[in-house]
Chain A
Amino acid sequence: MNDVYVVGAGQTDYGSFPRESYRSLFKEAVDTAVDSVDAEFDRESVDEAYVGTLGVGGRQLGLPGPAVTEFAGLNGTATTRVENACAASGVALRQAVLAVRAGVADVALAGGFEVMNDVSSERTGEWLGVSGETEWERMAGTTFSGVYAQMADAHMAEHGTTREHLSRVAVKNHANGAKNPHAQLGFETTLADAMNAPAVADPLNLFDCCPTSDGASAVLVASRDAAEELTDNPIRIAGAGQSSGRVGLFQRPTLTEIPATQRAAEQAYDEADIGPEDVEFAEVHDCFSIAELLAYEDLGFCERGEGGPYVASGATEPDGERPVNLSGGLKAKGHPIGATGGGQVVEVFKQLRGEAGDRQVSGLSRGLTHNVGGSGGAVAVHVFEEGWA
């Protein structure tokens, strides 16, 4: 099996950008990724491109992939659009990894984009929640935040998770996001403010929820031979796991776990020949505060049911034993659906290369990304290590 390396990664700022288009955002992400490559990089050397987008707003439902890659100068590159809801670009990355491993591509691009803030609130309502189970879950009046709220309700009842545990996630991720120039909500918050925010879907409040975002991300991966020509500071993708689960929460055997995360993580750990205890830092899918607590447990960072006490212990703070969401996470950095998984890689790439600026944690050599579609219908987990294999 060919080893695969990240040789470049870039993203736009996340936020609300009425003067930008989905094409201009994606091109900016590609430009930034190309600029991050140590050697001169010819974008026409990209053999395969995988582009994640849900298609929010319906602006280009057919052929959104070629619509952005041609615009960004990847002329004629085989382009495949990936739709796996919020896990679109995490899954796109895995497709790029598989293409290089298979020997089909020497260099591949994985990325994504989403524009969520240029449509009317009426249309936004039509699009938010489309990744829930439609026939039954949505038709029970369930919003997307409502599904995670049900998971939070069950987790609180089964494991004693508290309002404060949830808000600790928001406080930590906002503190991290305040140091990230790409962050949409780059401000700090207090525990009191986070705990007393207006209700959205009880028990979740406004500070438990990520924002809607515009943005794009791009990651360049290469085979060992190609990577040796492009960098002396390689980041290896040591493990790439993916799994699916029932789309509706009610269809799963548990309301307090995401089985697809557990399976994807097991695959990624097996490939990397590590266990969860070896993960030094992670970017996890905190679309809602409860989701970060579930991620701790499903990824094996703490015992089942102990996600709340784990965040309260400070273990996932920048100076803790295993920093989580140093970028600010979806909560503070933002969540442009199709771009999110690629954006997580940007943070891990920067941290491993010592290029994360004010939020750099020193001495990191192995990180993980965790990207969830819907409430657990699709999950991608990747493990990244510094250095040649």
Chain B
Amino acid sequence: MGAYVSLPTWWRSNDSRYRLVLGKCPECGAHNFPAEGVCASCNADADFEEVEPEGTGTVQAVTVISGGAPPEFDEYQTREGAFATGIVELAEGARLPGMFCDCDPSEVSRGDRVEAVVRRLYEQEGVPRYGVKFRPVE
């Protein structure tokens, strides 16, 4: 019950999950994440050019979740305690949400530079789900 992302839905988005593939709008040049739907910037319904970003970006907003994580992350929170999650703007300009890793959660701040790394996110129905987290770069 509740919110649920099925395995086929997850796998359909693997290019976005693992490589953060962006959709460059041929009309206005904005980069969209994920690379689907109409352009979030200019509303054009055009075929995006797929662009694989370098994977670095800047923290735009961050929160430290001290309790009550989504159930998919119960086990993670029990093991790791409070975690930081936020919104990252990639160098290409697209924004996406992501958890921060390899750092003290309380040390992540808006404006910090981060890079994407593929990590195990959670396990459901016996299948580990992988995707991107962000870690600080000097």
Contacts and interface: CB of A to CB of B under 8 A. Distances in A.
B2 A153 contact: no
B110 A154 contact: yes
Contacts of B63: 142, 146, 149-150, 153, 201-204
A196 interface: no
Contacts of B33: 250
B2 A143 contact: no
A346 B87 CA distance: 37
A246 interface: yes
Interface residues of B, number: 43
A255 B60 contact: yes
B99 interface: yes
Given A129-B70, A157-B110, A255-B60, A140 B2 contact: no
Nearest to A205: B66
A127, A153, A246 interface centre (most CB from chain B within 10 Å)? A153
B53 interface: no
B66 A201 contact: yes
Interface in A200-216: 200-204
B40 A136 contact: no
Interface of B: 1-5, 9, 13, 33-34, 40-41, 60-74, 76, 83, 85-87, 95-99, 106, 110-111, 121-122, 129, 131
13 contacts: A125-B69, A125-B70, A135-B5, A135-B9, A136-B34, A140-B97, A141-B65, A141-B73, A141-B83, A150-B62, A150-B86, A200-B66, A246-B40
Given A140-B97, A150-B61, A250-B33, 11 more contacts: A136-B97, A139-B72, A140-B85, A141-B76, A143-B69, A154-B60, A154-B110, A199-B66, A200-B66, A200-B67, A253-B41
Interface of A: 58, 122-123, 125-130, 132, 134-143, 145-146, 149-151, 153-154, 157, 198-204, 246, 248-251, 253, 255
